[in-house]
Amino acid sequence: MKHFSVLYSMPVAGLDEWMKKSPDERKAAEASLKGEWDAWLKEHSGAVQNTIGLGKTKRVTAKGIEDAKNGIMLSSYVEAESSEAAAELFKDHPHLKIPGAVIEIMEANPLGGM
């Protein structure tokens, strides 16, 4: 079995627009998506090892540390036979109902000696 890192994201502009919605409107939409997400996760619980929400970003460069913004919202760790099989798991994921949302799947390869 291979392991994959999965990133759930959407454009920063979309996140900014989302935050302009009223708290009640956001709460209702989030509750609906959470219900769909929970059902999806139950169906794929054998493959999805964990999922975490991601918070504010710090960017570290040779020039120093600064606050940064990106569209990455969540991360999962998944087991599958191949990258194609991992991608197939996500083709109907509720995250994709968010305008501009994408899911990126990358094979996780342990680095020797680290």
* pLDDT attached to residue 106: 97
Spatial distance between the Cα atoms of 79 and 85, rounded to a whole number of angstroms: 9
* pLDDT attached to residue 72: 95
Spatial distance between the Cα atoms of 28 and 37, rounded to a whole number of angstroms: 14
Report all structural domains of the chain as residue ranges with CATH numbers, in order of start: 2-107 (3.30.70.1060)
pTM: 0.86
Q: What does each of the 114 residues of the chain score in pLDDT, given as a tens digit? A: 999 999 999 988 888 888 888 999 989 988 999 999 999 999 999 999 999 999 999 999 999 999 998 999 999 999 999 999 999 999 999 999 888 899 999 999 988 765
* pLDDT attached to residue 113: 63
* pLDDT attached to residue 18: 81
* Geometric angle at alpha carbon 39, from 34 and 40, rounded to 5°: 95
* pLDDT attached to residue 16: 82
Counting Cβ atoms within 10 Å, is residue 94 exposed (0-12), middle (13-18) or buried (19+)? middle
